[in-house]
C-alpha cells in the first residue's frame, strides 16, 4: 500500500525526520533500507511513499492527517493498461458555502469524526475513517432521512449509510471516507473527542454572517430545543452543550447577530426568551428540523 499526501507534505515528512535524527541522505537511505535514488524520488514526490516506509518515518502519526488517499500496489495499472483510481474513492471537496456551514453546525451538535490507526488482519492492514451523526429515532428520523442525508450527498458526492443502535432509541447516519475526515480536519473539525479537542465555531464561519447564521441552524437543529414555558403564554429556544468553548462561541456569536440571549446557565444552557428575539432568531437563523418546525407552527410568537 502507498499513500498520497497533500502536496509538499511527503517531502516535509522526510526532511523533518532527517533533520530531527541528524542524518545524511545516505544514512537515511540505509536506515530505510532503500537506495538513495529511491529516497530522492520520495523526497521530490515523484513516487508515492509505501506504508512500511511511512511507518518508520512517522511513528507518532503526526503526518497522518495529511494523507489524502491510500493506493494498493500496482494501482497504476489495470487490464488494458489504463490508469486506476486506487483503493480510496475520491469525493467532492466543496468550497466554503452556507450549506457547508450548516453541515459543520450539525457536526458540532450531534456529529463525530473518527480516525483510527491501522490494525492488522490476516490478509491486510486497514484503518477506519468515518463521520457519524446520531439522533433520536422518534424525533429525528424525518430530519436525518429527508434533510441531513441529502445535504451530505450533495456536498461531498458520497454514499451515506443509516441505521439504528440495538436496544436504544438512537439512529445514525455515517460516511466512511479518509478524504472526508481529512477535509473536515482542515476546516477545524478534529477527529476524536469533541470535548477534549475543544471544538468550536471556526473563524472561516464566524467571519461571514451568512455562514454563521446557517451554522447556527445546524447547531440548533441538533442541540437545540423549542418549548412553551409551563403555565405561561411565552416560549423559549434553548441551546444545550457541555463544551464550554463552544457555549462561549455560541453566546458571543448570537450577540454578534444582535440576538439577545441569556448568560450560560448551569454550565450548559443558553436561552432565548423575549418574543422579539425569538422572532429575530426565526428570521435570521430558522430551523430545518421538522421536530422544531412542527412546534413553532402551533404558536403565535
* Domain endpoint, select from 31, 56, 81: 81
Task: Say yes or no: 42 and 124 in one domain.
Answer: no
Task: Say yes or no: 184 and 222 in one domain.
Answer: yes
Residue 127 is predicted with a pLDDT of 62
* Calpha distance 21→2 (Å, rounded): 24
Task: Say yes or no: 31 and 153 in one domain.
Answer: no
Task: Say yes or no: 39 and 183 in one domain.
Answer: no
Q: For the segment 108-159, what is each residue's pLDDT rounded down to a tens digit?
A: 999 999 886 544 444 444 567 899 999 999 899 999 999 999 999 999 999 9
Residue 8 is predicted with a pLDDT of 86
Three-class SS of the chain: CEEEECCCHHHHHHHHHHHHCCCCHHHHHHHHCCCHHHHHHHHCCCCCEEHHHHHHHCCCCCCHHHEEEEECCCCCCCHHHCCCCCCCCCCCCCCCCHHHHHHHHHHHHHEEEEECCCEECCCCEECCEEEEEEEECCCCHHHHHHHHHHHHHHHHCCCCEEEECCCCCEEEEEEECHHHHHHHHHCCCCCCCCCCCCCCCCHHHHCCHHHHHHHHHHHHHHHEEEEECCCCCCEEEEEECCCHHHHHHHHHHHHHCCCCCCCCECCCEEEECCHHHHHHHHHHCCCCCHHHHHHHCCCCC
- 197 within domain boundaries: yes
Task: Say yes or no: 125 and 218 in one domain.
Answer: yes
Residue 89 is predicted with a pLDDT of 72
Task: Say yes or no: 72 and 203 in one domain.
Answer: no
Is this model's pTM higher than 0.75 or not?
Answer: no
Task: Say yes or no: 188 and 221 in one domain.
Answer: yes
* Domain endpoint, select from 52, 81, 110: 81
Task: Say yes or no: 163 and 270 in one domain.
Answer: yes
What's the grid cell of residue 60? Answer: 507518532
Task: Say yes or no: 108 and 70 in one domain.
Answer: no
- 245 within domain boundaries: yes
- 89 within domain boundaries: no
- 301 within domain boundaries: no
Residue 123 is predicted with a pLDDT of 47
pLDDT band at residue 2 using 50, 70 and 90 as cut-offs: confident
Q: For the segment 274-285, what is each residue's pLDDT rounded down to a tens digit?
A: 999 999 999 999
CATH number for the domain spanning 260: value is: 3.10.28.10
- Residue span of the structural domain in which 226 resides: 98-296
Count: domains in the chain: 2
* Whether residue 251 has pLDDT greater than 80: yes
In percent, how much of the chain has pLDDT > 70? 88
- 58 within domain boundaries: yes
Q: What is the mean pLDDT of the chain?
A: 87
Task: Say yes or no: 108 and 257 in one domain.
Answer: yes
- 87 within domain boundaries: no
Range in 61-70, 132-141, 180-189, 207-216 with the lowest mean pLDDT: 61-70
- 86 within domain boundaries: no
CATH number for the domain spanning 26: value is: 1.10.260.40
Range in 1-5, 53-57, 193-197, 256-260 with the lowest mean pLDDT: 1-5
Residue 173 is predicted with a pLDDT of 94
Residue 83 is predicted with a pLDDT of 41
Amino acid at each position: 500500500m502507498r499513500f498520497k499526501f497533500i502536496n509538499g507534505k511527503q517531502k516535509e515528512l522526510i526532511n523533518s525526520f532527517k533533520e530531527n535524527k541528524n542524518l545524511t541522505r545516505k544514512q537515511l537511505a540505509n536506515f530505510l533500507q532503500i537506495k538513495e535514488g529511491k529516497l530522492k524520488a520520495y523526497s521530490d514526490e515523484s513516487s508515492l511513499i509505501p506504508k512500511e516506509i511511512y511507518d518508520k518515518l512517522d511513528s507518532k502519526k503526526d503526518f497522518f492527517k495529511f494523507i489524502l488517499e491510500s493506493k494498493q500496489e500496482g494501482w497504476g495499472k489495470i487490464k488494458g493498461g489504463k490508469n486506476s483510481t486506487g483503493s480510496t474513492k475520491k469525493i467532492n471537496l466543496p468550497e466554503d458555502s452556507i450549506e457547508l456551514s450548516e453541515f459543520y453546525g450539525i457536526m458540532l451538535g450531534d456529529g463525530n469524526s473518527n480516525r483510527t490507526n491501522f490494525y492488522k488482519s490476516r490478509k491486510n492492514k486497514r484503518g477506519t475513517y468515518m463521520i457519524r451523526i446520531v439522533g433520536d429515532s422518534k424525533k429525528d428520523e424525518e430530519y436525518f432521512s429527508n434533510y441531513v442525508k441529502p445535504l451530505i450527498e450533495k456536498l461531498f458526492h458520497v454514499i451515506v449509510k443509516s441505521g439504528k443502535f440495538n436496544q436504544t432509541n438512537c439512529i445514525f447516519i455515517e460516511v466512511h471516507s479518509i478524504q472526508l475526515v481529512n477535509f473536515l480536519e482542515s476546516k477545524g473539525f478534529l477527529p476524536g473527542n469533541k470535548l477534549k479537542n475543544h471544538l468550536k465555531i471556526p473563524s472561516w464561519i464566524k467571519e461571514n454572517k451568512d455562514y454563521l447564521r446557517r451554522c447556527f441552524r445546524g447547531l440548533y437543529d441538533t442541540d437545540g430545543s423549542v418549548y412553551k414555558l409551563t403555565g405561561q403564554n411565552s416560549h423559549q429556544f434553548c441551546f444545550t452543550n457541555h463544551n464550554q468553548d463552544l457555549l462561549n462561541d455560541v453566546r458571543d456569536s448570537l450577540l454578534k447577530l444582535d440576538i439577545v440571549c441569556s448568560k450560560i446557565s448551569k454550565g450548559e444552557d443558553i436561552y432565548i426568551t423575549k418574543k422579539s428575539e425569538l422572532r429575530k432568531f426565526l428570521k435570521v437563523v430558522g430551523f430545518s428540523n421538522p421536530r422544531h418546525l412542527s412546534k413553532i407552527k402551533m404558536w403565535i410568537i
